[in-house]
């Protein structure tokens, strides 16, 4: 998309005094009569082209439940990679975790907001996730760990952010893209995906788009509060507004 250009015209009345010679009774003399001319000034304003942003939760969104590959045929085990979330096990990428570029998000910038810590520190899981998100799309090669992190965001990859408050982290990521990289991302072009309804609902009124995923596979051992196999490709849609599994009536009990 090209930068837009706005031209405005300002009309200024500028008095110009023209000398005239008058003759007649009383002798000759010189006086001035004011006249006006119009000057046109053109101003040019350029704006940054808008960009889109897709932000993903990690556990049961980009990943699936460890050890449940038989129930999640489209997920893929990451051999030798430990995932400590929800009791731990071998990391398993969801269908979307393997194929983000096959969704509309392939044309957008990427970010992560997770309440978990992706196995902490310099874990192999974080390395896998960085490959999933991509440094070119996230403009990040490091992680922003909220606890004990207290300063402004230094990355688009945010971990340790409390459930129910993720909309605030997304706002900070949008600001980070603008202040650090001069990337303008309007709220209407921000899309958030999470397996928990209590992380999607609070986006109401923010102007961001948020959608619950893993609707066709829920973890019954946790009363269906969280997903099982993670995000499916069909759930990553460029839809406006806020949707939960209950609203879309896709939950399989």
Does 35 share its domain with 63?
no
Q: Residue 189 in 3-state DSSP?
A: helix
Q: In angstroms, rounded to a whole number, what is the distance separating the alpha carbons of residues 156 and 183?
A: 12
Q: In angstroms, rounded to a whole number, what is the distance separating the alpha carbons of residues 59 and 93?
A: 10
Residue 63 DSSP symbol = B
Query: Measured between alpha carbons, how far apart are the two ends of the chain, in Å?
Result: 44
Does 125 share its domain with 64?
yes
Does 102 share its domain with 215?
yes
Does 253 map to a domain? Answer: no
- Count the alpha carbons within 13 Å of 197 in the hemisphere toward its beta carbon: 13
* 48-104 pLDDT per residue, tens: 999 999 999 999 999 999 999 999 999 999 999 999 999 999 999 999 999 999 999
Per-residue pLDDT, 192? 98
CB 141 within 8 A of CB 135: yes
pTM of the predicted model as reported, rounded to 2 decimal places: 0.80
Does 92 share its domain with 166?
yes
Supply 116's token pair. 């978990």
Which residue segment(s) compose the domain that 28 sits in?
Answer: 5-46
């Amino acid at each position: 998309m090209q930068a837009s250009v706005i031209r405005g015209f300002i009309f200024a009345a500028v008095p110009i005094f023209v000398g005239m010679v008058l003759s007649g009774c009383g002798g000759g003399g010189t006086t001035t009569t004011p006249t006006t001319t119009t000057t046109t000034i053109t101003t040019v304003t350029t704006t940054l082209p808008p960009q889109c942003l897709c932000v993903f939760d990690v556990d049961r969104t980009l990943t699936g439940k460890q050890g449940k590959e038989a129930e999640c045929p489209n997920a893929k085990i990451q051999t030798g990679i430990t995932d400590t979330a929800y009791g731990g096990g071998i990391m398993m990428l969801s269908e979307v975790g393997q194929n983000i570029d096959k969704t509309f998000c392939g044309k957008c910038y990427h970010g992560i907001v997770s309440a978990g810590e992706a196995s902490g520190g310099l874990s192999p899981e974080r390395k896998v996730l960085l490959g999933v998100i991509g440094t070119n799309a996230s403009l990040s090669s490091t992680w922003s760990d909220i606890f004990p992190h207290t300063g402004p965001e230094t990355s688009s990859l945010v971990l340790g952010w409390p459930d129910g408050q993720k909309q605030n982290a997304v706002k900070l990521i949008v600001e980070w893209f603008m202040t650090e990289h001069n990337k303008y991302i309007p709220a209407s072009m921000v899309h958030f995906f999470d397996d928990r309804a209590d992380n999607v609902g609070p986006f109401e009124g923010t102007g961001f788009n948020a959608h619950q995923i893993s609707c066709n596979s829920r973890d019954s051992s946790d009363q269906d509060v969280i997903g099982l196999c993670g995000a499916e490709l069909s759930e990553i849609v460029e839809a406006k507004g806020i949707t939960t599994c209950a609203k879309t009536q896709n939950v399989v009990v």
